[in-house]
Amino acid sequence: MSALKGRPSTYELYSRVIDKRITPYIGALSVQDIRPAVLDSLMRKLATIGLSRNSILSAKRLLNQSLDYAVYPSELIAENPAKYISIPKSAPHDIIKRTIITKDQYENLIKLHPLGSLSYIPINLLYHTGMRIGEVLGLFWDDIDLKKGEISVRRQYTFIKGKGNVFTQPKTES
């Protein structure tokens, strides 16, 4: 895995996908024994246990990339068995329902965390900007231009297993 390039949080995500969604089901197989039917069964099992379509897709993509590597440059297998596999139609599209807090909920939060409390500014930034929690926690004073009324998101604060809480690049450019 040391050849992986990208953010530490991406590496941690890939490790979690392998540990939780792939290894328990096909980890005992050698790469030469992985057939399309085995991977199809894995995809159906992941759908059966209630994973969302996107979660299953992330496992499929990681398998596809790994098995491509097993074809070339490793030359362990002649063909990638993952290229034949699709995500089961039974897999739900969204499991976590996202909600936006109401104005009343926001006002109740502000009553609990009034001006002067440590949470007041982060709560207001989250509510009024739509920033992610890690992005708000990653702000430095030089990221804020009060005259222009602009905030620049240059980093996020996140937890990475083995490293603890660290600053990383934002999830996306935008």
| DSSP for 93-126, written as a single string | S-SS------HHHHHHHHHHS-TTSTTHHHHHHH
Largest CA distance in the chain: 64
Among 86, 77, 68, which residue's Cα sits nearest to residue 31? 77
Buried b (16+ CB within 10 A) or exposed e, 71-92: beeeeebeebbbeebebeeebe
pLDDT tens readout for residues 15-56: 999 999 999 999 999 999 999 999 999 999 999 998 889 899
Is the pTM above the cut of 0.85? no
Q: Would you call 44 helix, strand, or coil by DSSP?
A: helix
- Which residues sit opposite 157 in a β-bridge? 167
pLDDT tens readout for residues 77-126: 999 999 989 998 888 776 667 778 899 999 999 999 999 999 999 999 99
Are 43 and 88 in contact, with CB atoms under 8 Å apart?
Answer: yes
Interatomic CA distance for residues 84 and 134, integer angstroms: 38
